[in-house]
Amino acid sequence: MRHLLRRLAFYLVALWAAVTLNFLIPRLAPGNPAQAMLFRLKGKASPQAIHAINILLGINTHDSLLAQYGQYLNNLLHGNLGVSITYLPTPVSQVIAQDLPWTLVLVGVTLVISFVVGTLLGALVAWRHGSKLDTILPPVFTFLSAIPYFWLALIFLYFFAFYYNWFPTYGGYDADTTVPGWSPDFLLSALQHAILPAITIIIGSIAGWILGMRNTMITTLSEDYVLMAEAKGLPERRIMLTYAARNAILPNITSFALSLGFVVSGALLTEIVFSYPGIGFALLQAVDNLDYPLMEGIFLLIVVAVLVANFLADLAYVVLDPRVRHERG
Partner 1 sequence: MAVMEQPTPAVAGTLAGSARGIWRFVLANRKVTIGLAIIGFFVLLALLGPVIVHQDPAALSEDLLQPPSSAHWLGTTPSGQDVFAQVVVGARISILMGFIVGAVTTIISVVVGLVSGYLGGAIDELFSLVTNVFLVLPTLPLAIVLAAYIKYKGPLTIGIVLAVTGWSWGARVIRSQTLSMRNREFVAAARARGESTFRIVFFEIFPNEIALVAAELLGTVIYCILAEAGLEYLGFGDPNTVSWGTMFYFAQNGDALLLGAWWWFLPPGICIALLGAALALVNFGIDEIANPRLRREPRQKRSLLKAALGVPQTPQKTQEEAA
Shortest CB 298 distance to partner 1, Å: 7
Taking CA atoms, 157 is separated from 27, 110, 170, 274, 287, in Å, by 39, 18, 9, 7, 23
Shortest CB 184 distance to partner 1, Å: 30
Distance in angstroms (rounded) separating the CA atoms of residues 309 and 301: 12
Shortest CB 47 distance to partner 1, Å: 25
Shortest CB 50 distance to partner 1, Å: 20
Q: Which is nearer to partner 1, 116 or 162 (CB)?
A: 162
Q: Which is nearer to partner 1, 141 or 173 (CB)?
A: 141
Q: Which is nearer to partner 1, 10 or 87 (CB)?
A: 10
Are 294 and 313 contacting, i.e. CB atoms less than 8 angstroms apart?
Answer: no
Q: Which is nearer to partner 1, 30 or 43 (CB)?
A: 30
Shortest CB 143 distance to partner 1, Å: 4
Shortest CB 46 distance to partner 1, Å: 25
Q: Is the peptide bond before 47 cis (omega within 30 degrees of 0)?
A: no
Q: Which is nearer to partner 1, 91 or 261 (CB)?
A: 261
| Rounded to 5°, angle at Cα 127 from 126 and 132 | 75
Shortest CB 88 distance to partner 1, Å: 19
Q: Which is nearer to partner 1, 189 or 259 (CB)?
A: 259
Q: Which is nearer to partner 1, 69 or 299 (CB)?
A: 299
Distance in angstroms (rounded) separating the CA atoms of residues 232 and 172: 54
Report the interface residues with partner 1, using CB under 8 A. 10-11, 13-14, 17-18, 21-22, 25-26, 29-31, 33, 126-127, 129-130, 134-135, 138-139, 142-143, 145-148, 150-152, 154-155, 157-158, 162-163, 169, 215, 218-219, 221-223, 226-227, 230-231, 236, 261-262, 265, 268-269, 272, 283-284, 287-288, 290, 292, 295-296, 298-299, 302-303, 306-307, 310
Q: Which is nearer to partner 1, 34 or 55 (CB)?
A: 34
Q: Which is nearer to partner 1, 83 or 273 (CB)?
A: 273
Distance in angstroms (rounded) separating the CA atoms of residues 322 and 247: 12
For every residue of 270-283, DSSP letters joined together read: HHHHTT-SSHHHHH
Shortest CB 168 distance to partner 1, Å: 13
| Rounded to 5°, angle at Cα 124 from 312 and 199 | 65
User: Which residues are CB-contacts of 255 (< 8 A; sequence separation ≥ 6)?
Assistant: 208, 209, 212
- Where b means 16+ CB within 10 Å and e means fewer, 49-72 reads bbebbbbbbbbeeeeeeeebbebb
User: Which residues are CB-contacts of 253 (< 8 A; sequence separation ≥ 6)?
Assistant: 316, 320
Single-letter amino acid, residue 158 = Y
Residue 146: CB atoms within 10 A of its CB come to: 8
Shortest CB 27 distance to partner 1, Å: 10
Phi then psi dihedrals of residue 91, to 5 deg: -65, 150
